[in-house]
């Protein structure tokens, strides 16, 4: 049985990857952080009682900032494959926690590579490093491929560029099977709530259920190449199954503006949106509603929850602007398509639909809580 170790198993990608590897018959070890509350929601459906015999999913407490802990876990688990997905992964937050981000996202990768080397596992253990399209940063050329120069634009991207190069360096210096997947943005119903797509699908769902009036956004003109996380974890696995260790861009090749993602999310509930104004004065208004479709999607009547034509539901707030922004990402994944035989199965409308329907189902539970006198918190993140 092949053994995999996943750092960041409690995150979006960790959850989808654990599911995939279990399906493929792997023994999966995951590193989770100690938190004051349970933090395993995304993988609870995969939970196996450690008191049982023959379990194939085991969680270990750990942290990318703790070398001894990582070395011990790698020694104990003797993995054939390590997927280093753990990171402080929020670009805007990295401006507020730059030192910690460098430690976890940059040096954390070094800690794993060095542990494998010191334990003499460099011939046995293959390593996947979660690199990112944020490395491209300030646009040098599009579409971005494995040969496009990097120009990072945030403490997160600068930390990840160290991780990228230290992975390449250990591959070249010690002949290790260490690879970078340069993944463009990928989303899902499990996406963290403060990334832009999930922020939008959550807010739209709350608005159409009458739980919230409007929401505030940053740069509506940023363009991203959005894929589905399920497709992207498949690529991670494929990268480690090749004869030679190499780096690959994983992307859909289609780019979309943030404002169009908002439009698409509302459209999933029968609402057409119209943007008016400029800069900080820009607002998104309800332009039309397909009442029947709205009711079939939400189970409530638009007028009953205050969704009426002309109502403003989106506004811009400068607190969400970044000190330095990445304006345009569009990936060229032709190498992965050719060498890995990988291509995305989901398209953006399917992704948006899955996310909106999932969030509507989640917030319908809030309607029940509200009806029973509980308070609902609308966090402004
Ligand atoms: P998430 O933010 O959803 O998950 C990050 C995971 O890392 C969580 O399990 C988190 O634990 C864990 N983690 C954070 N800090 C530490 C630490 N110091 N020690 C140990 N674990 C830690 O990210 P995604 O799943 O979306 O992304 C996975 C990886 O891929 C990340 O490295 C990200 O930077 C990178 N990436 C993501 C892309 C995307 O579009 N999603 C695109 C390109 C790269 P906890 O649950 O406790 O917070
Ligand atoms: P990104 O993702 O920074 O690309 O990093 P995010 O979803 O946070 O932002 C995408 C774009 O949307 C703009 N934006 C907003 N973003 C957020 N979060 N909140 C807002 O209110 C908002 N308004 C506009 C942003 O300015 C940005 O241009 C993600 C992370 O998963 C990284 O870990 C990963 O490496 C990259 O994708 C690829």
Spacing, Cα 90 to ligand 1 middle (Å): 8
In contact, 256 and 223? CB cutoff 8 Å: yes
User: Ligand 1: residues whose CB is within 6 Å?
Assistant: 7-8, 10-14, 31, 33, 35, 39, 63-65, 85-89, 104, 130, 132, 183, 185-186, 192
Residue in 85, 115, 132, 250 to alter for ligand 1 test, most ligand atoms within 8 A of Cβ: 85
Can you give the pLDDT at residue 20? 98
Output the average pLDDT for the chain. Answer: 97
To 10 degrees, the CA torsion angle through 373, 205, 199, 262? -150
pLDDT above 90 covers what percent of the chain? 94
Other C-beta atoms lying within 10 Å of the C-beta of residue 183: 24
In contact, 1 and 26? CB cutoff 8 Å: yes
In contact, 186 and 231? CB cutoff 8 Å: yes
Q: Which residues, 6 or more positions from 353, have their beta carbon under 8 angstroms from its beta carbon?
A: 268
Ligand 1 atom with minimal separation from the 9 CA: 9
> For 372, phi and psi rounded to 5 degrees?
-100, 20
Spacing, Cα 9 to ligand 1 middle (Å): 8
Active-site residue, selected from the candidate residues 19, 134, 187, 234: 134
How far is Cα 342 from Cα 344, in angstroms, rounded to an integer? 7
**167 given a catalytic annotation:** no
Locate the domains of the chain by residue range: 3-183, 196-222+257-325+348-372
CATH match of 196-222+257-325+348-372 with 3.40.50.2000: no
ipTM > 0.90 (yes/no): yes
Q: Which fold has domain 3-183?
A: Rossmann fold (3.40.50)
**354 given a catalytic annotation:** no
> How do the residues of the chain divide into helix, strand and coil, expressed in percent and rounded to 5?
45, 20, 40
Can you give the pLDDT at residue 376? 77
Which ligand number lies closest to the CA of residue 90? Answer: 2
What tens digit of pLDDT does each residue of 96-125 get?
999 999 999 999 999 999 999 999 999 999
Residue in 224, 265, 280 to alter for ligand 2 test, most ligand atoms within 8 A of Cβ: 224
Q: Which residues of 251-281 are buried (b: 16+ CB within 10 A; e: fewer)?
A: bbbebbebbebbbbbbbbbbbebebeeeeee
How far is Cα 363 from Cα 214, in angstroms, rounded to an integer? 15
Beta strand extents in 211-278 (DSSP E only): 215-217, 223-224, 227-228, 248-250, 256-257, 271-276
In contact, 236 and 128? CB cutoff 8 Å: yes
Tell me the average pLDDT across 352-371: 94
How far is Cα 38 from Cα 67, in angstroms, rounded to an integer? 24
What tens digit of pLDDT does each residue of 277-310 get?
999 999 999 999 999 999 999 999 999 999 999 9
pTM score, two decimals?
0.98
Can you give the pLDDT at residue 380? 65
Can you give the pLDDT at residue 307? 98
């Amino acid at each position: 049985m092949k053994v995999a170790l996943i750092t960041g198993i409690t995150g979006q990608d960790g959850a989808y990857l654990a599911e995939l590897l279990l399906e493929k018959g792997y023994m999966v070890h995951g590193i989770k952080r100690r938190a004051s509350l349970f933090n395993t929601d995304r993988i609870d459906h995969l939970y196996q009682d450690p008191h049982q015999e023959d379990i194939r999913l085991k969680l270990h407490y750990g942290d990318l900032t703790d070398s001894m802990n990582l070395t011990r876990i790698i020694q104990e688990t003797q993995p054939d494959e390590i997927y280093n997905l753990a990171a402080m992964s929020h670009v805007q937050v990295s401006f507020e926690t730059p030192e910690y981000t460098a430690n976890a996202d940059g040096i954390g990768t070094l800690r794993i590579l060095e542990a494998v080397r010191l334990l003499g596992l460099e011939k046995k253990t293959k390593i996947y490093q979660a690199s990112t399209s944020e490395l491209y940063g300030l646009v040098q050329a599009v579409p971005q491929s494995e040969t496009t120069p990097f120009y990072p634009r945030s403490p997160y991207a600068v930390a990840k560029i160290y991780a990228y190069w230290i992975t390449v360096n250990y591959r070249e210096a010690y002949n290790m099977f260490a690879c970078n997947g340069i993944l463009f943005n990928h989303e899902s119903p499990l996406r963290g709530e403060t990334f832009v797509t999930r922020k939008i699908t959550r807010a739209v769902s709350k608005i159409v259920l009458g739980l919230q009036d409007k929401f505030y956004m940053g740069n509506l003109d940023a363009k991203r190449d959005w894929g589905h996380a399920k497709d992207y974890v498949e690529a991670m696995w494929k990268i480690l199954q090749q004869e030679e260790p190499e780096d690959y861009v994983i992307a859909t090749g289609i780019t979309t503006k943030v404002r169009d993602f908002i439009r698409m999310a509302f459209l999933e509930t029968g609402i057409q949106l119209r943007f008016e104004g400029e800069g900080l004065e820009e607002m998104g208004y309800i332009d039309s509603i397909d009442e029947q479709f709205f009711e079939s999607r939400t189970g409530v009547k638009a007028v009953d929850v205050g969704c009426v034509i002309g109502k403003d539901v989106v506004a811009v707030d400068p607190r969400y602007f970044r000190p330095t922004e990445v304006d345009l990402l569009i990936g060229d994944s032709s190498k992965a398509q050719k060498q890995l035989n990988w291509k995305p199965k989901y398209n953006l409308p399917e992704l948006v639909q899955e996310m909106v329907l999932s969030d509507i189902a989640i917030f319908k539970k809030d309607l029940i809580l509200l009806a029973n006198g509980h308070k609902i918190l609308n966090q402004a993140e």
